[in-house]
Amino acid sequence: MIPNSAFVTVGESARNMAAVEAGRAPAAEYAGLRANHFTKVIAMVDSGIAAGSMGAEARFAAAAYGATWNCRNIYLGEEFPGIQYLALQATLRRPKRIAMLVHNTASLRRRLPLATLGLGRFADHYLCLSERSKGELERSYHVPASRITVVHSRVDTDYFAPQPNAAGAVQVCSAGAVNRDYTTLIEAVRPLGIPLKIAADTAWKHSTRVSSDHSVPDFVEMRSWGSYEKLRELYAASAVMVVPLEKPMLSGVTVALEAMAMGRPVIITRNDYIEDFVRDGENCLLTPPREPETLRRKIRQLLDDRALAEDLGACARQWVLERFTVAAYVRKLLSVWQ
Global pTM? Answer: 0.92
- 203 pLDDT higher than 70: no
Helices (H) and strands (E) in the chain, counts: 12, 12
pLDDT tens-digit profile of 40-60?
999 999 998 888 888 999 999
Can you list the positions of beta strands (E) in the chain?
A: 2-9, 38-43, 73-76, 97-101, 125-128, 148-150, 172-175, 196-199, 220-223, 240-243, 266-269, 285-287
Q: Mean pLDDT, the chain, as a whole number?
A: 93
Q: What pLDDT sits at residue 205?
A: 46
Select the more confidently predicted residue: 295 or 106. 295
Spans of all domains in the chain = 2-150, 172-323
How does pLDDT run across 156-171, given as a tens digit for each residue?
999 999 998 755 668 9
- Inform me whether the pLDDT recorded for 139 exceeds 90: yes
Q: What is the CATH number of domain 2-150?
A: 3.40.50
Pure H helices in 168-291: 182-189, 228-236, 253-261
Cα 136 to Cα 96: distance, rounded to the nearest angstrom: 25
Pairing of β 240-243 and β 266-269: parallel
As a whole number, mean pLDDT of residues 222-247 equals 96
Question: Helix or strand or coil: residue 131?
Answer: helix
Q: How many Cα atoms within 13 Å fall on the side-chain side of residue 101?
A: 19
Architecture of domain 172-323: 3-Layer(aba) Sandwich (3.40)
Decide whether 2-150 matches 172-323 in CATH topology.
yes
Q: What is the pLDDT of residues 283-329, one digit of tens each?
A: 999 999 999 999 999 999 999 999 999 999 999 999 999 999 999 99
pLDDT tens digits, 120-130:
999 999 999 99
Burial of 138 (0-12, 13-18, 19+ CB in 10 A): middle
Rounded Cα–Cα distance for residues 40 and 45 (Å): 15
Nearest to 228 by CA among 202, 208, 254: 254
Each residue's pLDDT tens digit, 61-105: 999 999 999 999 999 999 999 999 999 999 999 999 999 999 999
- pLDDT of 48 reads 87
Which pLDDT tens digit goes with each residue over 229-241? 999 999 999 999 9
Provide the residue type at 66 as one letter.
G
The sign one gets for the Cα dihedral 110, 114, 115, 116 is positive
